[in-house]
Chain A
């Protein structure tokens, strides 16, 4: 009898031990942690429509969205304070998306590519101003190849891989296509393969990393990239520099009020006189903003017209 009780005692000890060890005890008691029921769901609240309508400024993806947002932030902040009105940045992957937004009135102001202006003119895009860099209101395209490659000229890129930036980028696509057109070639037959990087700095890095054999980029962007990343200079080589073309402008859409257009123009053209404005310009390496006329883009238009049939840029 006594023996039986003893065995029962042993086994209850075993059982208790087992139970204490079993998974029924939560391994991690989260003391004081807030309780949230993940099944208690509701539709997300709709975006508040603010009473104050912000000024919507679009920036074409000349460089990567992040770089763009970083470099333009001081300028937009300056605009915001000068206007006394919030400024909302709008970025899109492609140039044509921004043109669409301008035309639709979704965006008031846009920093666009030269060819975007040329393509958008017919839909009512108006020039507001253009940055002046190193005393010039023009820029060039540069064709780059990998530093180690044997390519010396455009001709040597035959049968290679070529990186375009944006489908309607002037320096990134229109100009190299124009070069081929002058040689009596078309990109789709001249190159083994082409692809779009949607930003100039990605095109530079595509060449630097050997993803593409060549690319044509905005000389200003290339200089900026080389300044930021000096090591890049040892990895790429320029084989061709274009004639100067009209600087990529700041445009307004067809629906903007003339009053706002004038106000904006005044702010931009005089911002280099304000130390805060100068600081914002410095970040972008701009001297100042200057007035531009449609005829400043004549040379570019010639090039664009020449390859119009190949690219169908003017939609």
Chain B
């Protein structure tokens, strides 16, 4: 039970101490310890003072009572009650704290007292001293505060008992004054420690806040941030370590950038070389192979016209048909490798032909919408978009089991958006990593080479949309990249 309660307390304290800011913690430490120290000191000091003053009051009571008893002896014996009365009054007037003095004879009658006309009768039996007592002190609670009542036997009790009451009024006054002074001191000390805490907090949190803001900047990719080393302490070490770290990060980032640049250049080179090679092969196929096959065709047609042997004619006709088929295949191959329309007529025409051919080939309904205006896009972008559409539609044909597809190419203010949609089976982009899919990887690769971005929206049974946005860069910006 007890331990669990302690644990609860500890947890509560931990949660509280953890939830407040460093500023509050420092304030708590400084003010808390100052207050604790001051209060503890004050209470201790006060207790000691009270003890000392109480002892002093008791001792004063005893010494006054002994003195009165000694001086009263003869006066009582010779029955000089007036002198006795004067003695009591004089003694009382000499001591500020003496509330009363009176003398009782052995029969219990009051011989003299300092109360004036009447006497508080209750007081008579409140204390007594036997003949062989040195003194007998009792604490009395009165309507005027506490009183130490000291009884001292006079002439071994044969002449009676002297009673002296020491009031605690001046003691209380002293304690109150002392406490007030100490309280004022505490408030002053607290104010001073408040200022000290403020300064300390500022001193401590300033480098930490600088570190926090620098860390935030670093997390956003700004490695140029450096924090000043304010002081030669642990936080200063931290700042130094942080600066080293950001410097390392900046170097690593630089290296990464250079590597990326290199890779991109390489990739661009590869792609450009590939395109060039395709273009060359396509042209070769078109210019040389197709021309040769066409002239063969013409020759066969001539032979057909002059041939009279039906057996030969039939073979020639077959050859011509095979040749015509080969010619078509060569043509298709050339177009697939590098449509001449892309170079000659532009993206829209090239895409139109490709989509038409794709529909025919795969028997899937497809729309094409192109809004790119009058001017042609840079060749590199046209090629990329063409290849992206080509790749995406190949994917649709291979995996989507779609009945229709649509292609949209839209030239906006500063970029070109390409959207390829299908109504196929779709997939979960979360499970199928875009990087793990070669076709999508190629699309992303091409887009990112041109500072573009690819996003995929798809879900099982909901079809697939591939969005590719490629920025249109100014020549300067373009130059930066290449």
Bound Cα distance from A104 to B159, whole angstroms: 25
Contact with B along A76-106 (1 / 0, CB 8 A): 0000000000000011110000000000000
Asked if B402 lies at the interface with its beta carbon under 8 angstroms from chain A, I say: no
Asked if B187 lies at the interface with its beta carbon under 8 angstroms from chain A, I say: yes
A23 touches B146 (CB 8 A): no
Bound Cα distance from A64 to B155, whole angstroms: 13
What residue of chain B has the Cβ atom nearest to residue A68's Cβ? B77
B139 touches A30 (CB 8 A): yes
Q: How far is the CB of B158 from chain A (nearest CB, A)?
A: 7
B77 touches A42 (CB 8 A): no
Number of B residues near A (Cβ < 8 Å) is 55
* A21-B39, A22-B180, A66-B77 known; A34 vs B143 contact (CB < 8 Å): no
Q: Which residues of A contact B99 (CB under 8 A)?
A: 38
B141 touches A17 (CB 8 A): no
- For window 21-63 of chain A, which residues contact chain B by CB distance below 8 Å? 21-23, 26-28, 30, 33-45, 47-48, 61
Q: How far is the CB of B386 from chain A (nearest CB, A)?
A: 61
Instruction: Say which residue of B109, B110, B142, B179 sits within 8 Å of A22 (CB atoms).
Output: B179
* A40-B122, A41-B118, A93-B78 known; A33 vs B183 contact (CB < 8 Å): no
Q: Which residues of B contact A69 (CB under 8 A)?
A: 77, 155, 158-159
Bound Cα distance from A254 to B120, whole angstroms: 43
Q: How far is the CB of A34 from chain B (nearest CB, A)?
A: 6
Bound Cα distance from A27 to B143, whole angstroms: 16
Asked if B243 lies at the interface with its beta carbon under 8 angstroms from chain A, I say: no
Q: How far is the CB of A259 from chain B (nearest CB, A)?
A: 28
A27 touches B182 (CB 8 A): no
Bound Cα distance from A208 to B39, whole angstroms: 61
Asked if A210 lies at the interface with its beta carbon under 8 angstroms from chain B, I say: no
* A36-B122, A65-B74 known; A23 vs B176 contact (CB < 8 Å): yes
B182 touches A18 (CB 8 A): no
Main secondary structure of the interface of A (DSSP, over half): loop
* A21-B42, A27-B171, A27-B172 known; A36 vs B142 contact (CB < 8 Å): yes
Q: Which residues of A contact B155 (CB under 8 A)?
A: 66, 69
Asked if B140 lies at the interface with its beta carbon under 8 angstroms from chain A, I say: yes
Q: How far is the CB of A113 from chain B (nearest CB, A)?
A: 15
Q: Which residues of B contact A33 (CB under 8 A)?
A: 138-141, 146
Q: Which residues of B contact A28 (CB under 8 A)?
A: 50, 54, 146, 168, 171-172
Q: Which residues of A contact B77 (CB under 8 A)?
A: 65-66, 68-69, 91
Interface range for A: 35 or more
Instruction: Say which residue of B39, B120, B140, B159 sits within 8 Å of A41 (CB atoms).
Output: B120
What residue of chain A has the Cβ atom nearest to residue B119's Cβ? A44
* A66-B155, A69-B155 known; A17 vs B117 contact (CB < 8 Å): no
Q: Which residues of A contact B42 (CB under 8 A)?
A: 21
What residue of chain B has the Cβ atom nearest to residue A14's Cβ? B190
A37 touches B120 (CB 8 A): yes
A64 touches B46 (CB 8 A): no
Asked if B115 lies at the interface with its beta carbon under 8 angstroms from chain A, I say: yes
Q: How far is the CB of B439 from chain A (nearest CB, A)?
A: 55
* A23-B172, A69-B158 known; A14 vs B46 contact (CB < 8 Å): no
Q: How far is the CB of A96 from chain B (nearest CB, A)?
A: 13
Q: Which residues of A contact B175 (CB under 8 A)?
A: 23, 27
Q: Which residues of B contact A26 (CB under 8 A)?
A: 172
A6 touches B120 (CB 8 A): no
B31 touches A34 (CB 8 A): no
Asked if B384 lies at the interface with its beta carbon under 8 angstroms from chain A, I say: no
Q: Which residues of B contact A61 (CB under 8 A)?
A: 78
Q: Which residues of A contact B271 (CB under 8 A)?
A: none
Instruction: Say which residue of B74, B109, B118, B140 sits within 8 Å of A36 (CB atoms).
Output: B140
Bound Cα distance from A35 to B147, whole angstroms: 10
Asked if A13 lies at the interface with its beta carbon under 8 angstroms from chain B, I say: yes
Bound Cα distance from A6 to B115, whole angstroms: 56
Contact with A along B67-86 (1 / 0, CB 8 A): 00000011001111000000
- For window 173-215 of chain B, which residues contact chain A by CB distance below 8 Å? 175-176, 179-180, 182-183, 186-187, 190
Asked if B126 lies at the interface with its beta carbon under 8 angstroms from chain A, I say: yes
Bound Cα distance from A42 to B122, whole angstroms: 10
Asked if B24 lies at the interface with its beta carbon under 8 angstroms from chain A, I say: yes
Q: Which residues of A contact B123 (CB under 8 A)?
A: 36, 38
A42 touches B142 (CB 8 A): no
What residue of chain A has the Cβ atom nearest to residue B165's Cβ? A38
Bound Cα distance from A69 to B78, whole angstroms: 10
A36 touches B126 (CB 8 A): yes
Instruction: Say which residue of B117, B118, B140, B158 sits within 8 Å of A34 (CB atoms).
Output: B140
Q: Which residues of B contact A22 (CB under 8 A)?
A: 176, 179-180, 183
Asked if B456 lies at the interface with its beta carbon under 8 angstroms from chain A, I say: no
Bound Cα distance from A20 to B115, whole angstroms: 36
Q: Which residues of A contact B39 (CB under 8 A)?
A: 17, 20-21
Q: How far is the CB of B428 from chain A (nearest CB, A)?
A: 45
Bound Cα distance from A41 to B102, whole angstroms: 14
Bound Cα distance from A18 to B144, whole angstroms: 25
What residue of chain B has the Cβ atom nearest to residue A25's Cβ? B179
Asked if B306 lies at the interface with its beta carbon under 8 angstroms from chain A, I say: no
Interchain residue pairs with CB less than 8 A apart (5): A21-B179, A28-B146, A33-B138, A36-B123, A43-B118
Closest 9 CB pairs of A and B: A23-B176, A65-B77, A41-B118, A65-B74, A33-B141, A33-B139, A27-B175, A35-B141, A91-B77
**Additional 20 contacts, C-beta under 8 A, given A42-B120, A91-B79:** A10-B31, A13-B35, A17-B38, A18-B186, A20-B39, A21-B39, A27-B46, A28-B54, A34-B141, A36-B123, A37-B142, A39-B143, A40-B122, A43-B118, A43-B119, A44-B110, A45-B121, A65-B77, A69-B155, A93-B80
